[in-house]
Chain A
Amino acid sequence: MSLLVIKLIIVAVLAGIFGSVLGLGGGTVVTPILTLMFGIDINHAIGASLIAVIATSSGAAIAYINDGITNLRIGMFLEVATTIGAITGAFLAGFISSSVLYIIFGLFLLYSALAMLQKKKAEKYDLNREKALANKMKLNGSYYDKNLEKEVPYHAVHVPAGFGVMYGAGVASGLLGIGSGSFKVMAMDLFMKLPLKVSSATSNFMMGVTAAASAGVYLLRGDIDPQISGPIAIGVLVGATIGAKIMQRMKSKTIRIIFVPVIAYIAIQMMLEGLGWKW
């Protein structure tokens, strides 16, 4: 009994570190570990993973906001897209076969993962026009990179495209309940060309809101089992606090190297789910 609690806390600490470094929220690893290693039923595992996402988001955000890595305005601006997307997803759930969507989202994610591998090419876009929009919406800033030991300025480009992908991330979370963190990081890193650390921290920050929006449903359904979710919450909060410190000292390149295979894994998992393969 108490052994289970200790094991859950250890797993949760690791999930919290993992989730806060990559900006994926820590839910990605919690569900499969709880079902496969602990034999916990899928509903309670998903409930616990939702708690893990919320705990990672708030836990990591304290350090990331304090150190100026999270861009609050970019996060808030894009939350408009994710929350509208989540509602759309909830509505669509009754009309569209989720298996088709799993495959579409999976393919998109896989494509994005491969695109992230390629070196960032200097693209042709009207920098001044892009800057004007970013300035108008205050989607720019700078952060101090503890690894590079210098201040890194940035401004968002391709804002409408980023907003669109965020909307898709919202639809995915409302409809499928998974993978929204990966889309968020992707939208900011790949489309809006924000630094990876800013993308990860801001994705983490936003994720709590998206997850909280659906948490009530899970609670009423009885998916939040206190015996499982309680220890998970405590462990993840500790892990996220540690992760938010580690990430700032890591090389962005290292984070990217870990990130891409994880995303590819999530993408393949989504496609298999769409094809009817259950894990």
Chain B
Amino acid sequence: MNHSQAKATREKDMDSVGIVIGWTLRIGIAMSSTIIIAGLILFYIKGQSGYEANRYPTHIKDIMQGCFALKPYGVILTGLLLLMLTPVFRVGISIIAFLVEKDYLYTVITLIVFSILIISFYIGRMA
């Protein structure tokens, strides 16, 4: 089997799940990197971070407020936040993708992973 044939077979085999996950990652990365770069450029144009020296927001609410106020560090952190959330979105969307594919075994497995992730967020917040 040559490359193109092999690739064609695999693409036929490759379920919609791979395509959906691929696009989730693409969108997540495109959005987060655009926002981070915009924040970095803003930082150079303004010449200041929008916060006191060596200070930056650490809570989601403050980060979002900083972003809307076009404070450079707020914008960069919004991009970083989106980057961090991309893998979580990826798992969430996989649940639906496996369900659509009628792969119930993996719908359940992914649901378990997603639930554990959510639990770990709460444990993280308690700690």
Contacts and interface: CB of A to CB of B under 8 A. Distances in A.
Nearest to A208: B87
Nearest to A93: B127
A147 interface: no
A83 interface: yes
A66 to B, nearest CB: 6
Contact of B113 (A57, A62, A76, A237): A76
Given A2-B44, A73-B106, 20 more contacts: A5-B40, A68-B14, A76-B94, A76-B109, A138-B105, A138-B106, A143-B10, A150-B6, A151-B1, A151-B6, A208-B87, A212-B84, A212-B117, A213-B120, A216-B124, A219-B58, A222-B56, A225-B56, A226-B76, A230-B40
A124 interface: no
A212 B77 contact: no
B116 A66 contact: no
B80 A220 contact: no
A110 to B, nearest CB: 29
A229 interface: yes
Contacts of A76: 94, 106, 109-110, 113
Of B59, B76, B87, B106, the most chain A CB neighbours within 10 A belong to: B87
Contacts, number: 161
Contacts of A55: 83
Interface residues of A, number: 56
Contact residues on B (Cβ < 8 Å of other chain), bracket: 35 or more
Given A51-B80, A90-B120, A214-B124, A226 B39 contact: yes
Nearest to B29: A58
Contact of B85 (A138, A143, A212, A214): A212
B80 A229 contact: yes
Interface in B79-115: 79-81, 83-88, 90-91, 94, 103, 105-106, 109-110, 112-113
Nearest to A137: B105
B121 interface: yes
A80 interface: yes
A220 B59 contact: yes
B113 A54 contact: no
A85 to B, nearest CB: 10
Closest 8 CB pairs of A and B: A208-B87, A226-B76, A83-B116, A230-B76, A212-B87, A215-B84, A217-B124, A151-B6
Interface string A140-176: 0011100001110000000000000000000000000
B119 to A, nearest CB: 7
Interface in B9-63: 10, 14, 17-18, 21-22, 25-26, 28-29, 32-33, 36-37, 39-40, 44, 49, 56, 58-59
B10 A233 contact: no
